[in-house]
Amino acid sequence: MSKWNYTVKPEDAGYTVKDILRSHFSFSSRMMTRFKLNDCITLNGEAVKVNTETAPGDVVCVSLPDERSHFDPENIPIQPVYEDDDILIIDKPAGFVVHPTKGHPAHTIANGLARYIENTGQSFKIRFVNRLDMDTSGLLVIAKNAFCQECIAKQARESKVVKKYIAVVCGVISDDTGLIDAPIGRPDPEKAARGVTASGHPSATRFTVLERFRNATLVELRLETGRTHQIRVHMSHIGHPVTGDRLYGGENVLLIERQALHACFISFIHPVNGGLIEVSAKTPDDILGLIEKLR
């Protein structure tokens, strides 16, 4: 069970429970409504209304009930790179969908997490903060409660979450750095492919060249927005599709069997303790092998 406590200080005199929660925890209106409906708020151990006045020394507590996901546990590889009571960050391998869909009802990362939760004796609902395509590897953030999920999502909307990727793309990029600012939409609602369209959502990707090869380029990419397939669409749009990307023109089975795209870094502010979380994931062997081939 996730729990937050706050001991009322003299300078909080006259504050209601609601004032305390808003001032010291920054809960959203939606979260506050959820707390009230589920009797999650106590004052000195007793359930109270949020308009109850507090006094110095009182302890305001918010307790979220245990929640569970109902994915079938499967032996899918889960590689934690950071974990505490509120957040889990894993290094997702390529080849797995994040959560079940109509086309992939099982054998997903969510199924692997269900087994991981069992094996580690935990109990929490799986709440994905970000998403990675099936054939993209790298850092995947899972919140262990609704508050953390909402807080990190809010940071992302405010461009306070830093996400970096590395990719090997087709062709030689001449500029050392650049910004791809092009709206992304869905040209055909019946198809999965996205594209740059005038009516699309604003989308921006920054790139930095790390190394040039004869017919390819190793780049670091930083997302300023988080659209579906954003990096893949943007790199294809400028004529440098990600190597191995069958959907957007970079297919090359002789070099690599999936798109050479890896989420290598993420940072954000921890929703509970306020500390800076910075996590990196090493480059996977297949991309390292591709780089060696190109050299």
Q: Taking a C-beta distance cutoff of 8 angstroms, is the pair 16, 52 a contact?
A: yes
Last residue of a domain, one of 37, 64, 91: 64
Which of 32-41, 130-139, 168-177 has the least mean pLDDT? 32-41
CB 110 within 8 A of CB 140: no
CATH number, domain of 270, equals 3.30.2350.10
How far CA 30 is from CA of 121, 147, 151, 212, 220, in Å, comes to 30, 10, 12, 49, 37
For the stretch 210-247, pLDDT in tens is 999 999 999 999 999 999 999 999 999 999 999 999 99
Q: Are residues 18 and 43 in the same domain?
A: yes
Same-domain check for residues 58 and 181: no
Q: Rounded distance, CA 220 to CA 209, Å?
A: 6
Give me the mean pLDDT over the 48-65 stretch: 88
Instruction: Determine the structural domain holding residue 195 and report its residue range.
Output: 80-294
Q: Are residues 35 and 159 in the same domain?
A: no
How much is the pLDDT for 1? 57
Q: Give the count of domains, the chain.
A: 2
- Residue 133 a catalytic site member: yes
- Among 17, 40, 64, identify where a domain stops: 64
Continuous segment of H or E residues that includes residue 269: strand 261-269
254 or 246, higher pLDDT: 246
List 133, 135, 245, 286, catalytic entry:
133
